[in-house]
Structure 1
Amino acid sequence: MKIKFKVSILSLCLMASSLAYADPHWTYEGKTSPEHWGELDKKWETCHTGSNQSPINIDHTIKGKLDNLAIDFHVTNETIVNNGHTIQVTTSDGDDVTIDNVKYSLKQFHFHSPSENHINGQAFPVEIHFVHANDDNQLAVVAVMVKEGKANPVIDEILKDIPAQIDKEEKIEQPFNFSKLFPTDKHYYRYSGSLTTPPCTEGVTWFVMKEPVEMSKQQITQFQEALKHSNNRPLQALNGRLIVE
């Protein structure tokens, strides 16, 4: 089934990027927390009324004999920003992933701590969201869970480039190898969901990798300190959706 968004790729990326909104302001705590997002702006009502919202607990899956994700890794220059909601890396010539014989290009990726999606009731210390769009303006998010383990050299490169000032975008001078942010095993869970930040737009195809990658305890702590607060939306009701593996 093909779901089309009649909006520009730029608009989609801005929505999915967790960029700071000047008016209204939203947060993960207090009176502007996820429980109140749908009240803050009429355009955000889907955050409360939507029936295919993300994140979810991935459980009771059905077998679909899904092919491994075909990811074509490039080496590009990127920019990085701490926008107050997440640490985000924007790509200029993104890596491609092929889904249902259609090529999607990576627009940006960002970090949540703790994880937003759960797998069989388990949360992870960090979850990375790789936001892709195709030529028809369809969105796909590839989610990679992170567990504590060995230090990841790519994460070291990202951590050292995080700007100290909120909303100050900096260029990452040294291109890095994206493949180190993905597990070797490319099997995944697939479901239909939404953006996890306002306006919570639905029609987003989610691919949650089964195998996590590793970061050291120190790297995880550094991310949490840079974020200064948890940035995970609570789990949403499945509402009869199928999760395929």
Structure 2
Amino acid sequence: MWGITNKRWRICRDGKFQSPINIPPQSVRFDPLLAQSLLFVSGSNSVHGDLENTGQELQFRLDSQQSGIVSLDGGPLSYTYRLSHIKLRYGEDDRHGSEHSVNGFHFAAEMQLIFYNDYLFLNYDEALGKAHGIAALSVFVQESDNDTNSEFQKLFHGLNKVAYKGEKKRVDGVNVRELLPLTHHYITYSGSLTAPPCSEGVTWILYNRPINIPRWQIRNLRNKIIRSEKERIITEPADDDVKYMRGNTRPLQHPNRKLHLWTNVRTRLEGGQGPASCSGYNDPSIMKYSINNLYTKPTISQALYQNASSPSEPITQQQKASQPIAAQEAASIDQSQLRNSLDSSQSESRTTRSHQSSINLGNGG
């Protein structure tokens, strides 16, 4: 539809690498190079910006002048990327909300952190549509009766101030790292932005674990955010079709090319012979249940995936250029201990990479 109404958005209709997509578990492939390079989200622990109702989504855009820098590097990325803004997608009910799906299963919402390559480009707009220009970090959100996330609450508190399209409010002191799930595991593939201009060349990285948000908080989003200007609601109060911003997601896209999904976790489908096998899970209901467990249970190793050997087929350079998808998870650990563990492992990895870099530079002299 977008490519028809606006010719500048033709790629939304004709593109070959469009997002979002459904992630079929039988297409998972392990990339040992990803397992050797941790994904880092680093930088400022306190960022500032504006939360705006764009009429299509709630978007938190960092203040480039006063806010600290949050960076993303490692994993499938060859450069360091800088956080530009955060988008929130959610649906009309608990079963529809995330743009990406796993074996047809959608979460209640999906938070997308959009980064641009600040090594090659001056800003986000310049990086759009360029090779190695944009990276998108996706966090699935599931509803919970008890769990909460203080940074999510800080970011989306006071929704009455952004109830109508065009309204915005200042948000200070957000710790972006605390918005993320406690895991190193992820899925990655090459896709596009999920809204116009639908620029391709986006490296998508989807965490293999969701964050939990109180049920009432998701309901507030559904019942308080309006996609139209305040003046229009006043003059056309009976027009419910333009009122609430429910279901602000793009439909799943069907790639016009072979889809390559990669993971940084050595995995094996239970009952099968390798990552591409799915024997023993032919019943769609069983498969869906298993995938639900994969993304929601604290002990992912007891779900669909188990430790296994290397993939049955070697990875070519052409395939490597595409990228990954998620799988297994670590056993349940106290969150504070896991956070400390992640910090420690990242620090060690950075030290190792720095040492190797200095050795390489020395040999080159």
- Tell me the TM-score range normalised by the shorter chain: 0.7 to 0.9
Q: Is the 8 A contact 2:28 2:262 kept in 1?
A: yes
Structure 1 runs not aligned, ≥5 long: 1-35
Instruction: Give the equivalent residue in structure 2 for 1:122.
Output: 105
Q: Is the 8 A contact 1:80 1:161 kept in 2?
A: no
Instruction: Give the equivalent residue in structure 1 for 2:201.
Output: 203
TM-score, structure 1 as length reference: 0.81
Structure 2 runs not aligned, ≥5 long: 91-96, 121-126, 128-132, 227-243, 264-365
Q: Is the 8 A contact 2:155 2:174 kept in 1?
A: no
Instruction: Give the equivalent residue in structure 1 for 2:186.
Output: 188
Distance in 2 between residues matched to 1:122 and 1:68, nearest whole Å: 27
Q: Is the 8 A contact 2:190 2:203 kept in 1?
A: yes
Which letter does structure 2 place at the counterpart of 1:118? S
Distance in 1 between residues matched to 2:148 and 2:30, nearest whole Å: 33
Q: 2:39 aligns with which of 48, 62, 69?
A: 69
Distance in 2 between residues matched to 1:68 and 1:109, nearest whole Å: 22
Q: 1:122 offset after TM fit, Å?
A: 1.4
Instruction: Give the equivalent residue in structure 2 for 1:44.
Output: 9
Q: Is the 8 A contact 1:151 1:219 kept in 2?
A: no
Give the share of equivalent positions with the same residue, in percent: 29
How do residues 230-245 of structure 1 correspond to structure 2 at under 5 angstroms?
230-238=247-255, 239-245=257-263
**Structure exhibiting the larger radius of gyration computed from Cα positions:** 2
Change (3 A) 1:87 1:94: farther
Q: 1:124 offset after TM fit, Å?
A: 0.4
Deviations, residues 44-74 of structure 1 (Å, cap 9, x unaligned): 1111111110000112111113233111041
Specify the SS of the correspondent of 2:209.
Answer: coil
Distance in 1 between residues matched to 2:194 and 2:206, nearest whole Å: 14
Q: How many residues in Structure 1 have an aligned counterpart in Structure 2?
A: 209
Q: 1:155 aligns with which of 130, 152, 157?
A: 152
Of the structure 1 ranges 160-169 and 81-90, higher mean CA displacement relative to structure 2 is found in 160-169
Instruction: Give the equivalent residue in structure 1 for 2:56.
Output: 85
Deviations, residues 91-114 of structure 1 (Å, cap 9, x unaligned): 123411114342100000010011
Distance in 2 between residues matched to 1:169 and 1:220, nearest whole Å: 19
Change (3 A) 1:47 1:144: same
* Runs of 4+ deviating beyond 6 Å: none
Specify the SS of the correspondent of 1:77.
Answer: strand
Of the structure 1 ranges 108-117 and 174-183, higher mean CA displacement relative to structure 2 is found in 174-183
Specify the SS of the correspondent of 2:29.
Answer: coil
Distance in 2 between residues matched to 1:224 and 1:78, nearest whole Å: 23
Q: 1:146 aligns with which of 141, 144, 159?
A: 141
